[in-house]
Amino acid sequence: MKTCAVFLLVLCHLAVSHAWTCGEAPMLYNAQQIEAGQGKVVARDRSNYPYFLIGSSWIRLSYVRFRQITVGPAGLWGCDTSSRVYKYVAGNFQRSYGLSMSQLDAGGDDQLVGVTTRSRAYCLRASTALTHRGLTSLSWSYLSRTFRHISCSPQNGCWGVDTSYRVYHTRTMSSNCVAASWTLVTGPRMKLVDVGTDGTVIGLTTAGQVYQRVGTSTSRPAGYGWSSITMCMGIRDLSYDLGQLWVVTNAGFILKCRG
């Protein structure tokens, strides 16, 4: 297994786009999902256990099995395989009550956003997300959108992917969960779009190809086009934070790339 991983990573190093340099990240056997935010990196393996990266080692956080985890300004959150919401509090995941969620994102302006099992997008106010300790019911604000994935940043607003894999952008999302109007973003059909806290936007297509949004700025937060980031293997999941792109390949390897 180790020999195979090294061989594939060498091929990736040779084949990757000249604008990005990728290398082997600390090995997490059969990784399925990764999330980075505010210098922290969390991941999920094939058994749905959550891990936290410390140095070059992955530390298991819990025996609760998660379908997705997220970390960022709003804290460390996750939704388990039964779509129940948890927040990491004082060294343990504490269950919360309320809506059933299939995806969460903690990368916004202290608020938490998420998508329910019925593909409806919601937002949890910053005042609640930051102080929540678990074991109580959460009061979510409906965003009047149908999405399969949503990601927010203090810079460049929020990005959503609808159930037809079309991308939408809203310029702002306040800490009180008030969103500006959503605008359709043309381009390839995306499985997910991840926006870093610095406003960098990375997309993953339904075919496992990686793209970066170009031309984003304060005056034009949605940018004006997509630029391909060549990868030598199909990508399952990705996350961007502090100048580093973390990707999980279809084979379950984690790569760390720098543009």
Domains with residue ranges and CATH for the chain: 2-258 (2.130.10.10)
In the sheet that holds 57-60, the strands lie side by side as 31-37, 40-45, 50-54, 57-60
Element (H, E) at 13: helix 2-15
Q: Find out whether 197 and 155 touch, Cβ atoms under 8 Å.
A: yes
What's the pLDDT at 89? 97
What's the pLDDT at 156? 86
**For residue 64, what are the CA distances in angstroms to 50, 82, 190?**
8, 11, 29
Q: Find out whether 233 and 248 touch, Cβ atoms under 8 Å.
A: no
Task: With a cut of 70, list the residues of the chain below it in pLDDT.
Answer: 1-18
Q: How far apart are CA 87 and CA 70, in angstroms?
A: 10
What's the pLDDT at 155? 87
Q: Which of 83, 175, 196, 90 is closest to 129 using CA atoms?
A: 175
What's the pLDDT at 68? 98
Q: How far apart are CA 3 and CA 6, in angstroms?
A: 5
Task: Write phi, then psi, for 9 (nearest 5 degrees).
Answer: -70, -35
Q: How far apart are CA 59 and CA 206, in angstroms?
A: 30
What's the pLDDT at 5? 52
Element (H, E) at 130: helix 126-131
What's the pLDDT at 217? 86
Q: Give the type of residue at 228.
A: S
In degrees to the nearest 10, what's the CA dihedral of 165, 166, 167, 170?
A: -120
What's the pLDDT at 185? 97
In Å, how far from its chain's centre is CA 175? 19
What's the pLDDT at 12? 55
